Amino acid sequence: MRIDLHTHTSVSDGTDTPAGLVATAAAAGLDVVALTDHDTTAGWAAAAAARPAGLTIVPGMELSCRWFPADEPPVSVHLLAYLFDPLHPAFAAERVRLREERLSRGERIVTALAADGYPVAWDDVVARSEGGVVGRPHVARALVEAGVVDSVDHAFATLLHHRSPYHVSKADTDVLDGIRLVRAAGGVPVFAHGRATSRGRVVGDDAIAAMTDAGLLGLEVDHPDHTPDQRAYLRALATGLGLLQTGSSDYHGTNKRTPIAACTTDPDQYEALLAAGTGSAVLTD
Ligand code: AMP
Ligand code: FE
Ligand code: FE
Ligand code: ZN
């Protein structure tokens, strides 16, 4: 069994449509793919409708969160959530808040860029999100197509990184609240790419212990942004805390270079994850 538990589509910041994503997954020889768009379940129905025979889809999401250390600024953390009830009221309300936060923050970024003469327009950036959630990658693609930069990576490296004068942070969910919401909705919370220092500051073991106390059930160990040492570190931590271990590509289509199935999850870990999720069911033959 080949299992990839972290992918994005055009309803957040991937470039494959949900139907395209499941076709890509099947063509790559995957048996199981999880759909984990940022802060939205908008792709679930279209992916289900397009599911090729033989492919199992795990409904999921990647929730934008923050950890608040005692004496430092908050750290951005991403929380994967699987098999939760999409209609759970408090969790659904939090997703609405996050999407609105993304809209106001995206507009501030674009307004600041436009004020300095970059040829980007907010309407165009919103249109690129196709009714899903707006993120910096949509701004990046607009900058590429305007000829300002030659790639999405270049847009992030020059104008959209978190130390850029154009950066605007968003009020993401306190990760401990996020974990409790996912569990309340019957879902399985897994800490995404938790050691990937290439993405910015990472949290310490104290945070992972507190997250575990709040109900965290797994750590994403095998991820393209983790070095072998970082994977070994997380593997040991997961073993010590009794957490599940997952592996995933974090595929974003052509917005990133990583192919689907670049990292995969062990079937035993997948079975344990399925057993822990009670809010929604996998889509399967
Ligand atoms: P946002 O959620 O709007 O803050 O945007 C963050 C998203 O941008 C991440 O989920 C990645 O998909 C993407 N991203 C971050 N850094 C880069 C990069 N250097 N190149 C391409 N995409 C990136
Ligand atoms: Fe992303
Ligand atoms: Fe992420
Ligand atoms: Zn992701």
Tens of pLDDT, residues 217-275: 999 999 999 999 999 999 999 999 999 999 999 999 998 889 999 999 999 999 999 99
Question: Which tokens go with 52?
Answer: 């090729």
Ligand 1 centroid, distance to 148 Cα (angstroms):
18
The yes-or-no verdict on residue 102 having pLDDT over 90 is yes
CB of 141 closer than 6 angstroms to any ligand 1 atom? no
Question: Which tokens go with 187?
Answer: 């879902």
Domain count, the chain: 2
State residue 130's pLDDT score.
Answer: 80
The CATH number assigned to the domain holding 131 equals: 1.10.150.650
Q: Do 89 and 227 reside in the same domain of the chain?
A: yes
> Residue 160: pLDDT band by 50, 70, 90 thresholds?
very high
When pLDDT is averaged across residues 97-117 and rounded to a whole number, the result is: 96
State residue 255's pLDDT score.
Answer: 86
State residue 129's pLDDT score.
Answer: 86
Q: What is the DSSP letter of 54?
A: T
Q: Which residues surround ligand 2, an ion (CB under 5 A)?
A: 13
Q: Do 84 and 147 reside in the same domain of the chain?
A: no
Predicted confidence (pLDDT) per residue in 200-216, tens digit: 899 999 999 999 999 99
Question: b/e for 147-179, b at 16 or more Cβ within 10 A?
Answer: ebbeebeebbeebbeeebebebebebbbbbebb
> Residue 183: pLDDT band by 50, 70, 90 thresholds?
very high
Q: Do 237 and 174 reside in the same domain of the chain?
A: yes
CB of 39 closer than 6 angstroms to any ligand 1 atom? no
Q: Do 14 and 77 reside in the same domain of the chain?
A: yes
State residue 217's pLDDT score.
Answer: 98
When pLDDT is averaged across residues 85-105 and rounded to a whole number, the result is: 96
The yes-or-no verdict on residue 75 having pLDDT over 90 is yes
Predicted confidence (pLDDT) per residue in 16-52, tens digit: 999 999 999 999 999 999 999 999 999 999 999 999 9
d(CA 229, CA 30) in angstroms, rounded, equals: 27
CB of 137 closer than 6 angstroms to any ligand 1 atom? yes
Instruction: Note whether residue 198 is domain-resident.
Output: yes
Ligand 2 centroid, distance to 72 Cα (angstroms):
25
> Residue 85: pLDDT band by 50, 70, 90 thresholds?
very high
Ligand 1 centroid, distance to 252 Cα (angstroms):
10
For 48, the domain range is 3-96+170-276
Instruction: Note whether residue 83 is domain-resident.
Output: yes
Nearest to 60 by CA among 106, 3, 18, 7: 7
